[in-house]
Amino acid sequence: MKNTAYTQKHIALGAKMTPFAGFNMPLEYTGIKAEHLAVREKVGVFDVSHMGEFYVKGPNALKFIQYVTSNDASALFPGKVQYSCMPNGKGGIVDDLLVYCINPEWYMLVPNAANIEKDYAHLCKYTEKFGLVPGETFVNVSDQISQLAVQGPLAMKVMQKLCKESVEDMEYYTFKILEVAGVKDVILSTTGYTGAGGCEVYVANKDAEKIWDAVFEAGKEEGIVPAGLGCRDTLRLEMGFCLYGNDIDDSTSPLEANLGWITKFNDAKGDFIDKDYMLKQKAEGLKRRLCGFELVDRGVARHGYEICAADGRVIGHVTSGTMSPCTGKAIGMGYVEAPLYKLDTEFFIKVRDKLLKAVVVRPPFYQAPQK
C-alpha cells in the first residue's frame, strides 16, 4: 500500500486511516458531518495526491486527446481546464478525467486514483497512431506530484495570502502556474469535487509538506480544517457529481450517465472513440438513464440497492446514496428505465425487503445560499 507525502501529517492529526485505490488515506478526522459542514461553510483541505497525472506533449498532443476523450479539447487554451471522459470502444467509460492545456503542445490529464494503471495502458494503445512515445511524449508522472484540494467559500481567500499574483478573481475551471508560499512552478486550478468553491494545488513531492504547512498556517483565521475521503463523497453526492466505479464505469455510456454535455459531435471535435456508437444510441433513444432522487419514506439508499416499481418489479439500481448533511434528506442516484428518469416520477427503493418511496429530482441536491 502506498503512502502520500502527507501520510504522516494525517496520522499525527489523529485521522482514521483506510486503504483506498492502493493508498493509505484519511477517511475522517473529527467526523464526516463536521468536516462536510466545515467545507460548505468555511474551508477544508483534502489530500488528493493519490490522483493521477499524465503529460501529453508534442505537435499531435491535441489530436490524440481529441480522439481518446469525449469532449472537444480544441476549445481549450493555455490556463483552461476541461472535464471529459474516455470512451472504452465498447460503449462504456474507461474513466472520467480533467484535461489541462499548459500550452498548445503540452497537456496534463488527471485521471482517478483507482484507474491510473488501467488508464495509462488504455491510452498507450493509441499513442502510435499519433506519433507519441510512452515514457517520452506520453508520460505517467503520478508518483512525482502531490495534490491538495483546498475547498470551501473561504478557500481562495486563504490561498491569496500565499500568492503574489491575484487568484481570488480566477474563473471556474482555469489554472495558473505560479509561486505559492515561496514554492515555484505550482499549478493552482479553480477546480474541485465538492461544489463549495476553492482550488486544487499540484506541487512536486519535495515541496509538498511546505505547502501543507503554509496553507494551514494561512487558514487559521478562517477556521481551516483537514477533511477526509468520507466527506469528500457526501459533498460530491450533494452536487450530483459522478463517482467512477459507482455511477459510471465500463458498462455505462456517457449519454446514459447524463454526460452528454461533455460528449461533442461537432466538426471541430472530429472523430473519436465510440462516436458512431453514441450517435446511434442518441438517434435510437436511451433505454436507461442515471437520475437523482430523494427518499420520501424514512431510510437511506445505498450503492447496489434495487429500484422497484410499486408492484415490486426491479427497474434499476442505486449507484450512490447517503443522508445529506446540508439538507437532512436521504439522497441518491441510480439507473432506471428511460421513461422513469423524468422529474417527480415516483418509484421505490428496496431496503431490507421494504419498499421505500422515492421521487426523482434534478441534482444538485443542495445549493449554497446566495450572499
One domain for residues 150 and 230 = yes
Task: Give the end of a domain, one of 102, 117, 140.
Answer: 140
* Whether the Cβ atoms of residue 81 and residue 55 lie closer than 8 Å to each other: no
Burial class (CB in 10 A: 0-12, 13-18, 19+), 303: middle
One domain for residues 153 and 13 = yes
Mean pLDDT of 214-225: 98
* Whether the Cβ atoms of residue 6 and residue 48 lie closer than 8 Å to each other: no
| pLDDT, tens only, 80-104 | 999 999 999 999 999 999 999 999 9
pTM above 0.85, yes or no: yes
One domain for residues 158 and 227 = yes
One domain for residues 171 and 196 = yes
Taking Cα atoms as reference points, which of 118, 146, 148, 120 lies closest to residue 134? 120
Bridge partners, 321 (sequence order): 332
One domain for residues 150 and 36 = yes
Asked whether the predicted pLDDT for residue 173 surpasses 90, the reply is yes
One domain for residues 191 and 47 = yes
**Close Cβ partners of 248 (under 8 Å, ≥ 6 residues apart):** 85, 93, 96, 242, 254, 257, 259
Asked whether the predicted pLDDT for residue 55 surpasses 70, the reply is yes
One domain for residues 97 and 107 = yes
Would you call 228 helix, strand, or coil by DSSP? coil
Q: Write down the residue that cell numbers 499525527 correspond to.
A: 12
Question: What cell does 176 get?
Answer: 495558473
One domain for residues 153 and 198 = yes
* Whether the Cβ atoms of residue 142 and residue 110 lie closer than 8 Å to each other: no
Sorting pLDDT into bands at 50, 70 and 90, what band is 371?
low
DSSP state of 307: E
Asked whether the predicted pLDDT for residue 370 surpasses 80, the reply is no
Asked if residue 273 is part of any domain, the answer here is no
Task: Give the end of a domain, one of 175, 205, 237.
Answer: 237
Question: What cell does 119 get?
Answer: 488508464
Q: What's the rounded Cα separation, in Å, for the pair 205 and 227?
A: 20
* Whether the Cβ atoms of residue 132 and residue 60 lie closer than 8 Å to each other: yes
Asked if residue 265 is part of any domain, the answer here is no
Domain count, the chain: 3
Mean pLDDT of 28-56: 98
Mean pLDDT of 252-277: 97
One domain for residues 311 and 162 = no
Asked whether the predicted pLDDT for residue 187 surpasses 80, the reply is yes
- Which domain CATH number covers 71? 3.30.70.1400
Asked if residue 21 is part of any domain, the answer here is yes
Asked if residue 248 is part of any domain, the answer here is no
Bridge partners, 200 (sequence order): 149, 189
- Which domain CATH number covers 148? 3.30.1360.120
One domain for residues 193 and 296 = no
Asked if residue 25 is part of any domain, the answer here is yes
Q: What's the rounded Cα separation, in Å, for the pair 180 and 186?
A: 7
Asked if residue 270 is part of any domain, the answer here is no
One domain for residues 294 and 342 = yes
* Whether the Cβ atoms of residue 129 and residue 67 lie closer than 8 Å to each other: yes
What is the signed CA dihedral for 362, 363, 369, 371, rounded to 10 degrees? Answer: -100
Three-class HEC string of 260-281: HHHCCCCCCCCCCCCHHHHHHH
Mean pLDDT, the chain, rounded, equals: 97
- Whole-number pLDDT of residue 369: 76
Asked if residue 232 is part of any domain, the answer here is yes
Would you call 114 helix, strand, or coil by DSSP? helix
Task: Give the end of a domain, one of 140, 169, 201.
Answer: 140
Sorting pLDDT into bands at 50, 70 and 90, what band is 310?
confident
Asked if residue 185 is part of any domain, the answer here is yes
Mean pLDDT of 19-44: 97
Mean pLDDT of 115-139: 98
Q: What's the rounded Cα separation, in Å, for the pair 214 and 142?
A: 23
Question: What cell does 208 get?
Answer: 509538498
One domain for residues 42 and 148 = yes
- φ, ψ of residue 363 in degrees (nearest 5): -60, 155
Domain that holds residue 87: 54-140
Percent above pLDDT 70 for the chain: 99
Asked whether the predicted pLDDT for residue 10 surpasses 80, the reply is yes
